[in-house]
């Protein structure tokens, strides 16, 4: 009787085991657990540093690699400083300098037209002298007296034509960028003067335009900090 029960029990266990083995859900869980165990074992093995049995003053028979990367901050900072030094100083154009020059030129020509339009008493003998003195005292650009005389006596069309060219040539000079050294500044002024000399205007007007430019052309490259 007991033998029969054991046989029946064994069959039931085998039947249950066989059912589990054929059950898809059971298979997925079993495979998942197996994969987890394998991955965990691999990670644990790779993270566990190898141990060496060494004694003080004993030389290692093989290279021992540190499990951590250590940054040498002193050496790294020196390399950074050296890299910065190798690049050198960097200069960028300051467009405000160009804008200020153009604004001053326009202000000058506006003042010239304003002075030319002044109403002076017919009885006054030195009308031009009065206008020249006023322009000299209120001009945004410091020029020689001969330049003020030329400006006061020029026609409105000549003044407007000269204004157009002065603005054009000033922009051309600044667009090429002017470094803070004597040679570059001299070169830019020479280019400006050459362009001005080719204008179809009276010589005194071309001289006026040249002198205006020379007063306004200055280095526009500033250190980029």
Q: Residue 214: inside a domain, yes or no?
A: yes
Whether the Cβ atoms of residue 151 and residue 112 lie closer than 8 Å to each other: yes
Whether the Cβ atoms of residue 216 and residue 140 lie closer than 8 Å to each other: no
41 and 137 belong to one structural domain: no
Number of Cβ atoms within 10 Å of the Cβ of 173: 24
Q: Over the stretch 62-86, which tens digit does the pLDDT of each residue have? A: 666 665 566 667 777 777 667 656 6
Q: Residue 114: inside a domain, yes or no?
A: yes
Report in angstroms the alpha-carbon separations of 156 from 102, 144, 204: 20, 21, 15
Give the CA dihedral 166, 170, 172, 173, nearest 10 degrees: 140
Q: Over the stretch 120-162, which tens digit does the pLDDT of each residue have? A: 887 778 888 999 999 999 999 999 999 999 999 999 999 999 9
Q: Which residue has the higher pLDDT, 33 or 117?
A: 117
43 and 108 belong to one structural domain: no
Q: What is the pLDDT of residue 18?
A: 62
Domain span at 174: 91-223
Binned at pLDDT 50, 70 and 90, residue 104 comes out as very high
Mean pLDDT of 188-202: 96
Q: Give the percent of the chain with pLDDT over 70.
A: 70
Q: Which residue has the higher pLDDT, 214 or 74?
A: 214
Q: Residue 27: inside a domain, yes or no?
A: yes
Number of domains observed in the structure of the chain = 2
pLDDT(200) > 90: yes
Give the strand pairing for 91-93 and 221-223.
Answer: antiparallel
For 61, phi and psi rounded to 5 degrees?
-85, -5
* Cα separation, 127 vs 144, whole angstroms: 19
Q: Residue 177: inside a domain, yes or no?
A: yes
Which of 50-59, 83-92, 102-111 reaches the highest mean pLDDT? 102-111
127 and 200 belong to one structural domain: yes
Q: Residues 6 or more apart from 21 whose CB is under 8 A from it?
A: 27
Q: What is the mean pLDDT of the chain?
A: 82
119 and 203 belong to one structural domain: yes
Whether the Cβ atoms of residue 180 and residue 188 lie closer than 8 Å to each other: no
100 and 191 belong to one structural domain: yes
Whether the Cβ atoms of residue 143 and residue 115 lie closer than 8 Å to each other: no
Mean pLDDT of 155-177: 96
Q: Over the stretch 28-75, which tens digit does the pLDDT of each residue have? A: 777 778 788 888 777 766 666 666 666 666 666 666 666 556 666 777
Which pairs with CB-CB distance under 8 Å and at least 24 residues apart come from 85-90? 89/223, 89/224, 90/223, 90/224
pLDDT(203) > 50: yes
Q: Residue 69: inside a domain, yes or no?
A: no
Mean pLDDT of 78-103: 79
43 and 121 belong to one structural domain: no
Q: What is the pLDDT of residue 13?
A: 55
98 and 38 belong to one structural domain: no
123 and 184 belong to one structural domain: yes
């Amino acid at each position: 009787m007991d033998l029969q029960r054991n046989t029946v029990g064994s069959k039931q266990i085998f039947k249950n085991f066989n059912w589990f083995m054929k059950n898809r859900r059971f298979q997925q869980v079993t495979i998942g657990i197996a994969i987890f165990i394998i991955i965990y074992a691999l990670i644990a093995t790779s993270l566990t540093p190898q141990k060496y049995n060494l004694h003080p003053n004993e030389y290692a028979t093989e290279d021992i690699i540190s499990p951590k990367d250590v940054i040498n901050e002193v050496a790294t900072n020196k390399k950074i400083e050296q890299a910065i030094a190798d690049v050198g100083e960097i200069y960028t154009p300051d467009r405000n300098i160009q804008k200020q020059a153009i604004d001053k030129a326009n202000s000058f020509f506006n003042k010239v037209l304003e002075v030319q339009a002044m109403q002076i008493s017919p009885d006054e003998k030195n009308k031009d002298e009065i206008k020249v003195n006023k322009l000299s005292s209120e001009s945004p650009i410091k020029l020689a007296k001969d330049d003020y005389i030329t400006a006061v006596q020029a026609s409105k069309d000549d003044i407007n034509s000269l204004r157009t060219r002065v603005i054009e040539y000033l922009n051309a000079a600044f667009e090429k960028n002017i470094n803070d050294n004597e040679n570059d500044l001299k070169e830019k002024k020479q280019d400006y003067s050459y362009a001005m000399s080719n204008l179809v205007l009276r010589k005194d007007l071309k001289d006026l335009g040249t002198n205006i430019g020379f007063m306004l052309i200055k280095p526009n490259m500033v250190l980029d900090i």
